[in-house]
């Protein structure tokens, strides 16, 4: 793999989306001398508005707005997957500007049904599932998958939105209706997995090859990732197996860019691929300080066709804590007392979201340490000290 590359000072990277993932990716693009533009919401309050003058306001999935970005940019990437593969393909064809991950990659994961079929066909284990279209299917799902099972909107769910755990036929009917099944939206039923841990791996891939970040352990509360522990507290062989599966998954979709893969570790010791994300991911934020190359640096490198950097750990362990909003109103980052720790080992990131809401992802902090348990203990002590609140 050649390490030689060049970046023109006039190079323009376009990002679909104006949130914190676009913002953190843009920092790395700026470091390489690139210009960055982004499609942002009409509100004028997106985090990207604060870091670049090249803003294209409008519908992030609309052809016209995306064409404006495409005419400006040399390469387009994205920060969320709630896009239409056909629209991306049309924009790429009409503008001549490449989009990564490609529309072809998107078509292989554009909804949960297709995603599971893609990975299953590639020999990657996934939870059993079936498409449900009405009352009879909901009953069949209970017989086939067992009660309770999970109903999922096939497209558009995140952080627990678009999911419903159902324990009987009446709950299944209500969940199906809530997810839009009666309005024509595709809904799948998925078996409930009895797991001991949730694991995740970030993979960067392009024509130069692929690199996997360390396998991490994620802790979810109310379907939102609240903590990420690196490395995952499982055997090294299992971590390496998870990393190999993640690279295999990226290859299965011929991915170019940065990809997040989430796994269940079952009570029987089996790894099941749960979900994928064709972008930087919450489970990779620790890498900003804890790795020699962050997920955001390799995101930029991957989509721009540059050689990938090895993401070696700088410390033995790291823990990332999501700072979820407390209350509503103007966002205020507060540290109620001096943290009882080395400043060099605690790194705070506020995403620049002007308005705070309960449970909204407002920022994160990362603690590095000698081992995962010690780093986690230190991070948990800081949770009540470092907060973002609404006033």
Q: Is residue 318 part of a domain?
A: yes
Distance CA 172, CA 130 (A): 14
Parallel, antiparallel or unpaired: strands 257-266 and 195-206:
antiparallel
Match 């595709």 to its residue by tokens.
186
pLDDT at 271: 98
pTM: predicted TM-score of the whole model, two decimal places = 0.94
pLDDT at 343: 53
Distance CA 347, CA 258 (A): 23
181 and 253 assigned to the same domain: no
Q: Considering 138, 168, 191, which residue would you say is the last residue of a domain?
A: 191
Parallel, antiparallel or unpaired: strands 54-57 and 35-40:
parallel
278 and 368 assigned to the same domain: yes
Q: Is residue 117 part of a domain?
A: no
Q: How far is CA 165 from the centre of its chain?
A: 22
Instruction: Tell me which H or E stretch contains 172.
Output: helix 169-178
pLDDT at 157: 57
151 and 178 assigned to the same domain: yes
pLDDT at 161: 64
Neighbour tally for 6: CB within 10 Å: 6
Q: Is residue 209 part of a domain?
A: yes
Residue 206, C-beta contacts closer than 8 angstroms, at least 6 positions apart? 100, 256, 257, 301, 302, 303, 305, 306, 308
Domain CATH number, residue 244: 3.30.470.20
Total domain count for the chain?
3
Q: Considering 80, 99, 118, which residue would you say is the last residue of a domain?
A: 99
129 in Cβ contact with 146 (< 8 Å): no
Closest by Cα among 121, 86, 113 to 102: 86
Q: Is residue 105 part of a domain?
A: no
Q: Is residue 304 part of a domain?
A: yes
206 and 167 assigned to the same domain: no
Domain CATH number, residue 171: 3.30.1490.20
- The DSSP symbol for 193 reads P
183 and 234 assigned to the same domain: no
90 and 161 assigned to the same domain: no
244 and 361 assigned to the same domain: yes
64 and 25 assigned to the same domain: yes
Whole domain around residue 286: which residue ranges? 195-390
Alpha-carbon distances, residue 256 vs 41, 144, 299 (angstroms): 26, 37, 9
Q: Is residue 300 part of a domain?
A: yes
Closest by Cα among 144, 133, 238, 232 to 190: 144
209 and 152 assigned to the same domain: no
Distance CA 141, CA 144 (A): 5
156 and 284 assigned to the same domain: no
211 and 315 assigned to the same domain: yes
Residue 112 token pair: 């949960």
Closest by Cα among 222, 121, 127, 141 to 181: 141
Write a three-state SS string for 282-336: HHHCCHHHHECCCHHHHHHHHHCCCCCCCCCECCCEEEEEEEECECCEEEEEEEC
44 and 92 assigned to the same domain: yes
Distance CA 353, CA 330 (A): 9
Q: Considering 191, 216, 245, which residue would you say is the last residue of a domain?
A: 191
pLDDT at 222: 83
pLDDT at 1: 46
Distance CA 45, CA 75 (A): 24
Q: Is residue 46 part of a domain?
A: yes
Q: Is residue 53 part of a domain?
A: yes
Residue 268 token pair: 């029987």
pLDDT at 28: 98
Domain CATH number, residue 35: 3.40.50.20
pLDDT tens by residue, the chain, 391 residues:
457 778 898 999 999 999 999 999 999 999 999 999 999 999 999 999 999 999 999 998 899 999 999 999 999 999 988 889 999 999 999 999 999 999 999 999 989 999 999 999 999 999 999 999 999 999 999 999 999 999 999 886 555 568 899 999 999 999 999 999 999 999 999 999 999 999 999 999 999 999 999 999 999 998 889 999 999 999 999 999 999 999 999 999 999 999 999 999 999 999 999 999 999 999 999 999 999 999 999 999 999 999 999 999 999 999 999 999 999 999 999 998 876 655 558 999 999 999 999 999 999 999 999 999 999 999 999 998 999 999 9
């Amino acid at each position: 793999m050649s390490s030689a590359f060049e970046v023109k000072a006039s190079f323009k990277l376009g990002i679909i989306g104006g949130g914190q993932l676009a913002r953190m990716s843009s920092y790395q693009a700026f470091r390489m001398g690139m210009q960055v533009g982004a499609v942002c919401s009409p509100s004028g309050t997106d985090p990207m508005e604060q870091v670049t003058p090249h803003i294209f306001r409008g519908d992030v999935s609309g052809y016209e707005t995306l064409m404006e970005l495409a005419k400006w940019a040399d390469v387009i990437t994205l920060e969320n997957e709630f896009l239409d593969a056909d629209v991306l393909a049309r924009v790429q064809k009409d503008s001549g500007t490449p989009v990564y991950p490609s529309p072809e990659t998107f078509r292989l994961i554009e909804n949960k049904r297709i995603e599971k079929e893609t990975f299953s066909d590639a020999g990657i284990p996934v939870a059993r599932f079936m498409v449900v279209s009405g009352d009879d299917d909901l009953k069949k799902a209970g017989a086939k998958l067992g009660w309770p099972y999970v109903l999922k909107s096939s497209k558009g769910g995140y952080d627990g939105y678009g999911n419903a755990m159902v324990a009987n036929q009446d709950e299944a009917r209500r969940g199906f209706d809530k997810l839009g099944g009666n309005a024509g939206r595709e809904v799948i039923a998925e078996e409930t997995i009895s797991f001991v841990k949730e694991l995740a791996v970030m993979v960067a891939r392009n024509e130069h090859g692929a690199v996997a970040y360390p396998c991490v352990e994620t802790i979810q509360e109310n379907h939102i990732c609240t903590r990420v522990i690196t490395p995952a507290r499982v055997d090294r062989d299992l971590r390496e197996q998870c990393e190999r599966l993640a690279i295999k998954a990226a290859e299965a979709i011929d991915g170019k860019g940065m990809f997040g893969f989430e796994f269940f570790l079952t009570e029987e010791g089996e790894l099941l691929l749960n979900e994928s994300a064709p972008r930087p991911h919450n489970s990779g934020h620790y890498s900003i300080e804890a790795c020699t190359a962050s997920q955001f640096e390799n995101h930029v490198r991957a989509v721009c066709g540059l050689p990938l950097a090895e993401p070696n750990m700088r410390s033995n362990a790291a823990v990332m804590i999501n700072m979820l909003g407390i209350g509503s109103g103007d966002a205020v980052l507060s540290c109620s007392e001096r943290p009882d720790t080395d400043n060099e080992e605690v790194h705070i990131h506020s995403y620049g979201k002007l308005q705070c809401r309960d449970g909204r992802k407002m920022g994160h902090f990362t603690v590095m340490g000698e081992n995962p348990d010690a780093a986690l203990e230190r991070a948990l002590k800081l949770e009540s000290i470092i907060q973002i609140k609404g006033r």
